[in-house]
Amino acid sequence: MVLASAIVLGFVAAWMLASGVLMHGRGIRFRQALLYLPLKLIYRIEDRALIQARDAEAPVIYVISHQSRLEPALMLSLLPDQTLHILDDASAQAFWLEPWRELGRTIAFNAEHVFVSRRLVRVLRGKGRLAVYLPDTVEPDVKAFRLFRAVARIAMQADARIVPIFVSGARHLPFSLAPAERAPRHWFQRLRISALAPMTMAELLQRAGYSQTTTANALFDRFAEARLAGTDLDRGVFGAMVDAARRYGPSQPIVEDVVSGALSYRKLLVGARVLGSRFEAMSKQGEAVGILLPNANGVVLAMLGLISAGRVAAMINYTAGAANVASAVKTAAITTIVSSRAFVQKADLGDVVAAAEQAGAKIVWLEELRDSVTTQEKLTAALQWSRPLAPQDASKPAVILFTSGSEGTPKAVVLSHRNLVANAMQAEARISISPKDKLFNVLPVFHSFGLTGGTILPLLTGIRLFLYPSPLHYKIIPDVARKIRPTIMFGTDTFLAAYARTAEDGDFSSLRFVVAGAEPVRAETRRVWRSRFNAEIIEGFGLTEAAPVVAVNTATHGRDGTVGRLLPGMRMRLEEVEGVAEGGQLWLTGPNLMMGYMTSDRPGELQPLDGWHDTGDIVSVDREGFITIKGRAKRFAKIAGEMVSLGAVEMLVQALWPEQRHAAVAVPDKRRGERIVLVTTAGNADAEALRLHGKQAGATELMVPHDIIKVHEIPVLGSGKTDYVAARRLALDQLGLAA
């Protein structure tokens, strides 16, 4: 009895002592510390971000992402005791939460009636503090978005500061509010609390980066940034992959191709470690090693193997032609390229391989590496699958990609681990995805959209990934889609239009949505996919330098004809362009912006990005924050002193001949400086009909091409973008202006 009493007393004393330490370390009351301590120990909570949140000057509104039943207990334990917590009915009545409710002031609210604004404004004006729990949704419906409007209105009226709070990992707790199939449960899930700096609504509106936005959108964007802040970007690509494996299950099938079948997280990381050990032996730390492989399991294994070994994966665009591949090898100072004999033979890439070798690269064949792997290597890798071969530094380069070259010579874009993970998580904070989804990626991994969005994003978020080797198999891809039943697909307008022409009505019926980028989505393509497959095309915008996604529409925040709204964590500014009345040239900054370029005149040397990046795109932004691409700065023709968007010309022509493809290019003109030439697949294209259509559409005469060149196919790059260099060369040849 004495021993038992001593044990109990010792336990109580230890609890009291630990609570005292916690009280002083976090600045909370002793009662709060007593109830917070068990949560802190069980979930190993990283909570230092709450210190700044507690010290925020009143009036202040804490906006908390309500992912599980635990957030109210955490916030009642950690926020100042004078904070008024606005709880949902379940939290206000839960019997187990009663001890925590005694720590502060709480009221229940009915979501149907939103908030009693005047009473809350009075509380805040009296130097009060509110804690509001908003639904955990990245795509709020109309009902949920009313809450953002209400909070923004209250904050404006009371001139209160906003502090968004996100508890990373909470949605995977046993008492998560998300369905189990969307968020696998873990009893002892580690939690990380992130809280952003206090800002008033006026400050949030000012930092939007464009002339106008709504208060609700400004708050919604700030709230999404808190979700992004919950990601540990210092873990790097490999560390984030291991975290995903543990979160969704090491045995969970995650990637699949048409040849070798499915791989689980564990098998993927075991294979990557085996290959990585071989890459270590043939290259130096930090060296760029080329990957010349199609969309298949092997390309993911090779990339992760190089990253695990501390090497940089340089993704070779084998569709760019022998000359561009040789240029890429020299620009990135690549001395070793990983490829596959079977792939090179099947894709007839002998000239590309020869050009790479002539440029100084040695080819290492995956088949030979695979055949030489010993049983001991496999066992060692199986035991240490979660450990990288070399120390990982998220600030160091992870991959090198090459710009498309649609307007000139390709450049090497160097992306860090932090760039890639940040962009994947920015997309996750904007688009509603979950492990219930299956992503069908036909875009090549050497293209930034196919790499980050089509490969890294699903691997980090537990989405089953199906890789297909070529987007050009227009007749086969619809058949594959019918068999594998994907819910998400990535593509470009060129590819999507081609698939629709060969598909049967049920082939893409499993899709929830299609994410399209790289080029504008035509209204005809959008109409066909809606009417035939009941699939919404979500248009986005990106560039290789941004890893690549910059903006995207969503199901609840979408607007046809735009590329959506800026991703969380990014900032933009518009600079005036001579001759452009509406909008300006887009400059960007954010955690996903590249480390810098490598160029052919300074091979292997990183030229760091200095602050903001000039995208070269002319855009306009409406008051809701939706971005409309007017065209590339290089894709404006200067005719008789006026700037004319070649992209706008293409849209004008597309409205007249919607089922055909068109490219507008500018060529020299002695009298007016430049003139516009239309390259088109429309066999019935006629200059007079185009002139009349332009007049009816209200287009200026300068926008109407007088020269029309008819072709069977518009030149395209491997990424699906129109090859404007080739199209302009074709126009110059046809018009006798090449000299």
Q: Which of 66-70, 101-105, 395-399, 419-423 has the lowest mean pLDDT?
A: 101-105
Highest mean pLDDT out of 125-129, 416-420, 611-615? 416-420
pLDDT band at 575 (very low <50, low <70, confident <90, very high): confident
Q: What is the pLDDT of residue 684?
A: 79
Q: What mean pLDDT is reported for the chain?
A: 87
**Positive or negative, the Cα torsion across 331, 332, 336, 338?**
negative
What does the chain come to in residues?
A: 739
**pTM reported for the whole predicted model:** 0.86
Q: Between residues 212 and 605, which one has the greater pLDDT?
A: 605
pLDDT of residue 236: 92
Question: Which superfamily does 251-629 belong to?
Answer: ANL, N-terminal domain (3.40.50.12780)
Model confidence pLDDT, tens digit, residues 296-306: 999 999 999 99
Q: How much of the chain is in helix, strand and coil states, percent to nearest 5?
A: 40, 25, 35
Instruction: For 165-192, write each residue's pLDDT tens digit.
Output: 999 999 999 999 999 888 999 998 999 9
Return the pLDDT at 403.
Answer: 80
* Distant-in-sequence, close-in-space partners of 419: CB < 8 Å, separation ≥ 6: 398, 547, 591, 592, 593, 594, 595
DSSP state of 633: G
Q: What is the third-level CATH fold of 45-230?
A: Rossmann fold (3.40.50)
| pLDDT score of 697 more than 80 | no
Strand ranges for 532-672 from DSSP E = 536-542, 549-552, 565-566, 571-575, 584-589, 596-599, 602-608, 613-621, 627-632, 636-639, 642-645, 662-669
On the question of pLDDT at 704 being above 90, the answer is: no
Flag whether pLDDT at 449 surpasses 70.
yes
Residue 400's nearest CA partner among 453, 442, 445, 455 is: 445
Task: Identify which of 63-77, 127-141, 515-529 has the greatest average pLDDT.
Answer: 63-77
pLDDT interval class at 116 (50, 70, 90):
low
Fold of 640-734: GMP Synthetase; Chain A, domain 3 (3.30.300)
Domain ranges within the chain, ordered by starting residue: 45-230, 251-629, 640-734
Q: Is 350 exposed, middle or buried (0-12, 13-18, 19+ CB in 10 A)?
A: exposed
Give residue 596's region: left, alpha or beta (phi > 0; psi -120 to 50). Answer: left
- Per-residue pLDDT band for 211 (boundaries 50, 70, 90) equals low
Neighbouring residues of 360: CB distance < 8 A, sequence distance ≥ 6: 329, 330, 334, 335
Find where tokens 């990982």 sit: 392
pLDDT confidence of residue 113: 58
The tens digit of pLDDT for each residue in 9-66 reads 877 888 888 888 888 888 888 888 888 899 999 999 998 888 888 888 889 999 999 9
Q: What's the average model confidence in pLDDT over 652-665?
A: 80
Torsion of CA 245, 250, 251, 256, to 10 degrees: 40
Q: What is the pLDDT of residue 265?
A: 96
* Residue 208 predicted with pLDDT over 80: no
- The helix/strand/coil state of 55 is coil
Helix (H/G/I), strand (E/B), else coil: 603: strand
* Segment 609-638 mean pLDDT: 82
The whole-angstrom distance between residue 189's C-alpha and the CA centroid of its chain comes to: 25
pLDDT for 134 beyond 80: yes
Q: Which residue has the higher pLDDT, 721 or 324?
A: 324
Mean pLDDT computed over 576-600: 84
Q: How confident is the model at residue 581 (pLDDT cuts 50, 70, 90)?
A: low
* pLDDT reported for residue 648: 74
From 66, 85, 447, 557, active-site residue:
66
Question: Closest by alpha carbon to 50, among 206, 207, 230, 217?
Answer: 230
DSSP 407: S
What is the band of 591 on the pLDDT scale with cuts at 50, 70, 90? very high
Is residue 336's pLDDT more than 70?
A: yes
Average pLDDT over residues 111-115: 58
| Confidence at 660, pLDDT banded by 50, 70, 90 | confident
Asked if the domains 45-230 and 251-629 are classified in one and the same CATH topology, the answer is yes
Q: What is the band of 375 on the pLDDT scale with cuts at 50, 70, 90?
A: confident
* Cα–Cα distance for residue pair 226/50, rounded to 1 Å: 13
- For range 664-688, the mean pLDDT: 79
Whether 66 is catalytic is yes
pLDDT at 650 > cutoff 90: no
d(CA 461, CA 352): 35
What percent of the chain stands above pLDDT 70? 94
